[in-house]
Structure 1
Amino acid sequence: MATLNGKPVSTDDLLPLALVNVGHFTSMRVDDGAVRGLELHMARLAKDCEVVWGADLDTGRVRAFVREALHGRSQPCVVRVTVYDPAVDMGHLAAPGDPRVLVTVRGAGALRAPAPLRAKSVRYERELPEVKHVGLFGALHTRRGAQLAGFDDALFVGRDGLVSEGGTWNVGFVDADGGVVWPQAPVLPGVTKALLQQRAAHRVAPVTLEEAKGMAAAFATNTSIGVRALAAIDDTALLAEHPVLDRLREAYLSVPGERP
């Protein structure tokens, strides 16, 4: 199902998104009609709309579009809200835009601890990392390369040698003392990460690749998976079962959902 400003979307409406590929989005998992961190998702959309389009976004209207898209649905699902301008002109991107709201819905499985992830380190930095933009080619290309090498996904390392994030997820670590460490680096400010930071003691510090491999445990976070353990970084095995990871999962599951 897909709607644009609350109405069925046409092929012509989608062509600019496919061909010009300028826009931003957020993805929200819906359980029992509610979203963990809904206000954070709306704040992200508003902030990114100002950065990408120089425009204000009526998040109350966005919530209404989401409610319409969810009407009659009872099973867990993921709602993606993409903000783009169907009239965008590749040659005149400084012109005032008229961004619209595309809402798509797909099914989601039960939220449980998925199989641990094996990550391959890759020298890569996302463009405009603070924005959740639709320019996913680079990140997905690194994922493909990692999978061709026998891994599940890519873990990004910047030119400064510091670990930042994964292909479509934030990464966190558990140090030898059981402390939670989030990398200090240019990364997407993930909603799941923010919810965990509100509920679990942590520190933010630069993490080199060598330091990452020496941690007691590592984990990936995003709205679809919650907290997912990393079983390895490159050829270095990590502890996939750790009591801190269990506590982080419990903390995330305890977050009350908000209805759009």
Structure 2
Amino acid sequence: MTTAPLHVEIDGSPAPDPELLATLMGGYGHFTAMQVRDGRVRGLGLHLDRLDRSTHELFGTGIDAGRLRVLLTGALEAAGRRDAAVRVYVYAGVRVVVTVREPASMPAAPQSLKSVEYWRPAAHIKHVGGFGQSYHGDAARRAGFDEALLTSSHGEIAEGAVTNIAFWDGTSVVWPSAPCLTGVTMALLEPRLPSARRPVTLASLRDFRAAFVTNSRGIAPVERIDEVRFEVDEELMGRVYAAYASAPWEPLEAGRSGGPGSPVWHESSTDAS
């Protein structure tokens, strides 16, 4: 007996690749987000390692860094860009999707965060399908905040909805030790600053002098978490920005775009994480 092929329609029109669409809609995969400037990426090796490590964990096989470099370079060439916000997604069958968008940067203004009771599942993986993050992030913005801060039911702080967070106690930059994604910007800063990892709770916020958030778009100071206010420590932020600037930009290797089973998509929306 012959199995009928999968049929998928989008707004009444047949999808050009229904099997791929079904894979993407399944929501089981992972990604990394990076800023590209003049064909270079800060922490490129960390991004490639993240993709390989998560592919091993989710799908039982690795992904070749050379293949990823070819896909990245090809997507940028096809989009006609040297500067861009780029995401690399990996799905079952090690199907790779690259998105190329306008370059983005972290807002310069100090950020306000609203705490919510939510921790991401498998927090060490930058996985797709972040409904909880989007839900709480949108709710925080509707309440007049810039971002949601994810906490446990006991008020232990893990991370922002799309950021890592760090606190300054006057001696060390303290990164919360609760389960979270170690973002690439965080991974670049941690060894370049006097850093420590330990539990941080909402109840202990007043023990800290300052705070800041990081993600693929950059770094910003925090001015408020719920009703707790922080002064922006200009000296601290200068040290943080200088530490980030000291991380080298790594060039992407030139190569042809695409490959069998490796679609390249191009988007125009603003990168958010």
TM-score (norm 1): 0.85
1:107 — aligned with what? 102
Pairwise mapping of residues 117-136 of structure 1 onto structure 2 (< 5 A)? 117-136=111-130
1:199 — aligned with what? 192
2:7 — aligned with what? none
3-state DSSP of counterpart to 2:28: coil
Deviations, residues 197-226 of structure 1 (Å, cap 9, x unaligned): 1211111111111223442111111111x1
Question: 4+ residue runs of structure 1 moved beyond 4 angstroms?
Answer: 72-75
Deviations, residues 221-255 of structure 1 (Å, cap 9, x unaligned): 1111x111111000111113431112111211221
3-state DSSP of counterpart to 2:75: helix
| Alpha-carbon distance, 1:160 to partner | 4.2
**Contact preservation (8 Å) 2:24, 2:91:** no
1:253 — aligned with what? 245
1:65 — aligned with what? 71
The alignment yields a C-alpha RMSD, in angstroms, of 1.9
Gaps of 5+ in 2: 1-14, 253-273
Q: Is 1:234 equivalent to 2:226 in the alignment?
A: yes
3-state DSSP of counterpart to 2:135: helix
Deviations, residues 91-145 of structure 1 (Å, cap 9, x unaligned): xxxxxxx121111110114x57621111001111101001000021011101111
Gaps of 5+ in 1: 1-8, 86-97
Pick aligned residue for 2:56 from 50, 53, 59: 50
The count of residues paired between Structure 1 and Structure 2 equals 237
| Alpha-carbon distance, 1:52 to partner | 1.3
**Contact preservation (8 Å) 2:171, 2:194:** no
**Contact preservation (8 Å) 1:217, 1:242:** no
Q: How many angstroms apart in 1 are the aligned matches of 2:137 and 2:98?
A: 25
Question: Taking CA–CA contacts closer than 8 Å with sequence separation of 6 or more, which of the two structures ends up with the larger relative contact order?
Answer: 2
2:147 — aligned with what? 153
TM-score (norm 2): 0.81
Q: Is 1:29 equivalent to 2:35 in the alignment?
A: yes
Identity %: 40
1:92 — aligned with what? none
3-state DSSP of counterpart to 1:82: strand
1:4 — aligned with what? none
Deviations, residues 24-69 of structure 1 (Å, cap 9, x unaligned): 0001111121000000000100110011111221121011100111
Larger radius of gyration: 2
